[in-house]
Amino acid sequence: MSAQLHRVIVVLLLAFANLTNALYDEAVEIIHIGKVISEDIIKTWKLVDSTHFNDEDLPPILIKNNEKKVMSMLKHINSRIQRLDLDVNQIGSVACKITSQRLESQLNLLAELIYQVEATHQLYIEYEKNQNGLEQMTLEDFAKWCVSHDPSALRGLLERIHSLSINPNKHPMGRSLLELILKNLKDQHPDLCDLQLSPHQLIYDMYNTISLTEIKGYAMMQFSWMLLRVYGRGNFTQEASLTRQRYGQRTNQTAAAARAALSQAKRDLYRCDPPQHIEGETYDQVTRLLQGYIENEVDMNADGTCRENCAFYTLAQNHGCFKDQFCSKQPACKGRIIDCQFVDSDMWVCPASAKSNRRYEWIEYENGRTLGRVGSCMRGTTKVDSWWRWLFWHCSYCMCLCDDADFRSHRYFSLHECTSDVKNNKVITGVRLVKHGKVFHLQISEGTLSERGSITPGTWVPIKKFDPFESGIKEGVDYHTLTYERRAIDLDELDSPAGHVLTGVRFSMIGSHLHFEIRSTPFNYATGRLAYDKSQWISNDNTDGTDTPRSRLELHYPDIPSRSHVSLPVDSKHDQYVEFTHSDFDADAAQSTVPFIDVQPVQTLKGGALLSGAGVVHRGADGNGGFIALKVFTYDFSRHIQAETPVNEYYDVDTDTTELMPPLN
């Protein structure tokens, strides 16, 4: 091999190795990578065309200049392309969710083909690293295989990937594989929360995976044509042009299919039930808001009489402890006693632990009715009997509700707004509910927004902790207290207008309802800059006084939600509300406040997705109190997906693009 030929091969190997292998900067999306690669390929072709391989007297300085030109063209792209990451495992995650055997087999085949392209690319990288010790025959054989018409060669692999992904002839009703996946997930798997990806983001990531494979394959094929040209096997100008055209056709068709699927894909993301419910880690509770409470009617009136019945006491309070009966064996309700009812005169009561938020573990009446799950009783049962007074009045034990905001009651919600640092171009990347002391807080994670919607993940922003009873903290300003009359929470799903992103969340009060709001901020997609001075708060301010008031989500016989053996789906709708209430008498002796609060963080698996909205939902079912939970909406990238056909050989490649595809998160 001549020295000149060797130098040119080295230049080509280095050029294309660096174009397709290196780190992927999150500020650069696939379309931009493809565009830059295409442009530099054309420039490199010009260099190849200008080199006279048969001229043995070509001055070494000219060869060196040619090398410098190529490396100069690569310098910019090398600083931006850091990693072409093929997330084939993502396809496997989708495949495991597919119930259609045919579709699952197609996804598995797609993953295998992508693996083969990646294996070829890794071999290509190894050749680049060890180029000085390789024989010409090795590189020439590799180049011939890449552009071979053999269906098992690189060209064939790319066509098969495209056929599986896009070709309507391969699928019924002319749908692309992306659309078929979307339909299957809609029909069979309405909940994708266990993947921690919205359907929109899942389809988008799969599209990125396919597109990245195309870019690698295209670069390797163009390198092969150049290498064969260098070896004197032919001119290959027309072949390279046809390769470029076919690459453009495939990428355009892939983009069109992706836009069609993404326009239909849901963008909401929330958490499923965990494998195991752990209080303080996966859920928390409002405690002792309305709790089952046994009280004798003699202690619910100032006169100490038994002239009425239990139903008379719809709103009462404790006035003492008559003759140290059962009342002396339990803490009295110091708040309001509400909605009493008579069940039976006599009962056995299993008291709860002194450290528990419950009053009773279970209650068993003489008539056979039980409240709660009867079983062993660690503290021993207590016999409680009603009695007659002066033969005329029956002093009955009533089953009531206690609304007592004592030190055991955790019933406060922070009204402090949680906003990202928009002046430093930070946006919300996740949300969660947390309890500190007796107060529930919204908390956000934030990341730095960069060009074309890419995010650098950050950390969770510390909450503003406070005690409701400390000096300077005001109810209605700093926090809201749940009471019997003011225990509703609005269930809304809020999204930003097009071109806006999520930068804030907060609770506020509208009437007696705890109300959720989001802050939306416009941004420039190309530069990633936030227009922070144009931020706006968005909410659904519907009240009971409107023509179409909110509907109430009823909780029917609500048991403790952590007892559920199946994952609870979202059963609420936008523009509803639910009231915190007591658990079912029969199931739990009304000892718990439901719904529980889901405190799992809501953010994408990768922690850095761009979000446009958030909401408060209820996950539950009949016979279950369910959970109050948060959800988020991932940003709609579909309008930014616009593939470009690679420019021809001698077009001006210095033009810019206004509409670019989204980044890989």
One domain for residues 382 and 474 = no
> Which tens digits make up the pLDDT trace of 516-552?
999 999 999 989 999 999 999 999 999 888 889 999 9
Residue 305 lies in a domain: yes
One domain for residues 346 and 324 = yes
Lowest mean pLDDT among 86-95, 369-378, 464-473: 86-95
Greater confidence (260 vs 299) lies with: 299
State the average pLDDT over residues 289-305: 95
Which of 386, 403, 420 is where one domain is finished?
Answer: 403
Q: State yes or no: pLDDT of 243 exceeds 50.
A: yes
Quick one: what percent of the chain has pLDDT higher than 90? 54
One domain for residues 499 and 576 = yes
One domain for residues 250 and 317 = no
Whole-number Å distance between alpha carbons of 660 and 107: 27
Residue 661 lies in a domain: no
Q: Which of 531, 527, 540 is nearest to 500 (CA)?
A: 531
Which of 267, 302, 334 is where one domain is finished?
Answer: 267
pLDDT of residue 122: 82
Which of 378, 403, 428 is where one domain is finished?
Answer: 403
One domain for residues 237 and 139 = yes
One domain for residues 394 and 421 = no
CB 436: neighbour CB atoms within 10 A? 14
One domain for residues 232 and 312 = no
Q: Are 414 and 514 in contact (CB under 8 A)?
A: no
At residue 617 the predicted structure's pLDDT band, cuts being 50, 70 and 90, is very high
Residue 144 lies in a domain: yes
Q: Which of 650, 645, 644 is nearest to 237 (CA)?
A: 650
The 3-class secondary structure across 584-634, one letter per residue, is CHHHHCCCCEECEEECCCECCCCCCCCEEEEEEEEECCCCECCEEEEEEEE
> Which tens digits make up the pLDDT trace of 476-516?
999 999 999 999 999 999 999 999 999 999 999 999 999 99
One domain for residues 312 and 237 = no
Q: How many domains does the chain have?
A: 3
At residue 17 the predicted structure's pLDDT band, cuts being 50, 70 and 90, is very low
One domain for residues 397 and 438 = no
Residue 276 lies in a domain: no
Lowest mean pLDDT among 59-73, 245-259, 342-356: 59-73
> Which tens digits make up the pLDDT trace of 156-172?
999 999 988 885 555 44
pLDDT of residue 99: 52
Residue 73 lies in a domain: yes
pLDDT of residue 530: 97
Residue 662 lies in a domain: no
> Which tens digits make up the pLDDT trace of 310-339?
999 999 999 999 988 899 999 999 999 999
Predicted model pTM: 0.82
Residue 447 lies in a domain: yes
Cβ burial, residue 310 (10 Å; 0-12/13-18/19+): buried
One domain for residues 217 and 330 = no
One domain for residues 450 and 350 = no
Q: Which of 355, 490, 339, 348 is nearest to 413 (CA)?
A: 490
Whole-number Å distance between alpha carbons of 259 and 265: 10
One domain for residues 255 and 295 = no
pLDDT of residue 643: 59
Residues of the domain holding 118: 3-267
Residue 350 lies in a domain: yes
Residues in the chain: 665
Name the residue type at position 484: Y
pLDDT of residue 168: 53
Q: 352 forms bridges with which residues in the sheet?
A: none
pLDDT of residue 111: 85
